A and B are shown apart, each in its own frame.
Chain A
Amino acid sequence: RKEVEQDPGPFNVPEGATVAFNCTYSNSASQSFFWYRQDCRKEPKLLMSVYSSGNEDGRFTAQLNRASQYISLLIRDSKLSDSATYLCVVKRLGGGADGLTFGKGTHLIIQP
């Protein structure tokens, strides 16, 4: 099983719609969780951290379910500029490197 799994999509949704996607992670000891967005041929940019209690940032809501080991991202009132690949990122424990494990991303296309 991959460490971080996401549905690659693409998800095509009309502008103004609400869209949500999930990500599952395999390491139950994972500590920190994030959503990044990556535009085509660009570096990833942090969208938001994900907290157990759930958190909201404008039109974006992130949820973490530790028992089921999944993370969700919900986008309300989607804009054309939301079109991007959304990466689920988990900070893993152990090993010599203290880095982040990235999912392959979910490609979102907002249509006018």
Chain B
Amino acid sequence: GAVVSQHPSWVICKSGTSVKIECRSLDFQATTMFWYRQFPKQSLMLMATSNEGSKATYEQGVEKDKFLINHASLTLSTLTVTSAHPEDSSFYICSGSPRSGDLDTQYFGPGTRLTVL
């Protein structure tokens, strides 16, 4: 199946710093990438949808100035958590949809666990 990688796998940072998470589709072109986060014992919550070359579409309640998304190519999307605070600590997961596939097909990355001290 299609492979999506994320880096870093985990990161611990101090409050106030910014953290960038990369999401790459390794063997397919992802026109659309999704960013989710999951708090402990909670469901995955969609944060935003990014289409290559376009601005991301954010879900209600997600601050676009705090969670900067860049989808510069068909194989790479980045999420930058700016001025991170402890409440941003979560499991961040990206997924990509193949260019020629339907949007029901999403391939998930392994996730990035962010801990903000």
Q: Which residues of A contact B (CB under 8 A)?
A: 4, 8, 32, 34, 41-45, 49, 87, 91, 95-105
What would 25 A/B residue contacts be, using CB atoms closer than 8 Å? A41-B91, A41-B111, A41-B113, A42-B110, A43-B108, A43-B109, A43-B110, A44-B108, A45-B108, A49-B104, A87-B43, A96-B57, A97-B46, A97-B48, A97-B58, A98-B49, A98-B103, A100-B34, A100-B44, A100-B46, A100-B106, A101-B46, A104-B41, A104-B42, A105-B43
Q: How large is the interface on B (under 10, 10 to 19, 20 to 34, 35 or more residues)?
A: 20 to 34
Complex CA distance for A8 and B40, rounded to whole angstroms:
13
**Given A43-B109, A91-B104, A95-B59, 9 new contacts (CB under 8 A):** A32-B104, A42-B111, A45-B108, A87-B44, A97-B48, A99-B46, A99-B49, A103-B43, A105-B43
Q: Which residues of B contact A (CB under 8 A)?
A: 32, 34, 36, 41-46, 48-49, 57-59, 91, 93, 103-104, 106, 108-111, 113
In terms of DSSP, what is the predominant structure of the interface of chain B? strand
Do the beta carbons of B32 and A98 come within 8 Å of each other?
yes
From A41, A87, A98, A105, name the one whose CB has the most chain B CB atoms within 10 angstroms.
A98
A contact residues around B104 at 8 Å (CB): 32, 34, 49, 91
Do the beta carbons of B46 and A96 come within 8 Å of each other?
no
B contact residues around A45 at 8 Å (CB): 108
Beta-carbon nearest neighbor of A101 in chain B: B46
Complex CA distance for A87 and B103, rounded to whole angstroms:
18
A contact residues around B42 at 8 Å (CB): 104
Beta-carbon nearest neighbor of B113 in chain A: A41
Beta-carbon nearest neighbor of B57 in chain A: A96
A contact residues around B36 at 8 Å (CB): 99, 102
Complex CA distance for A8 and B42, rounded to whole angstroms:
10
A contact residues around B32 at 8 Å (CB): 98
B contact residues around A99 at 8 Å (CB): 34, 36, 46, 49, 59
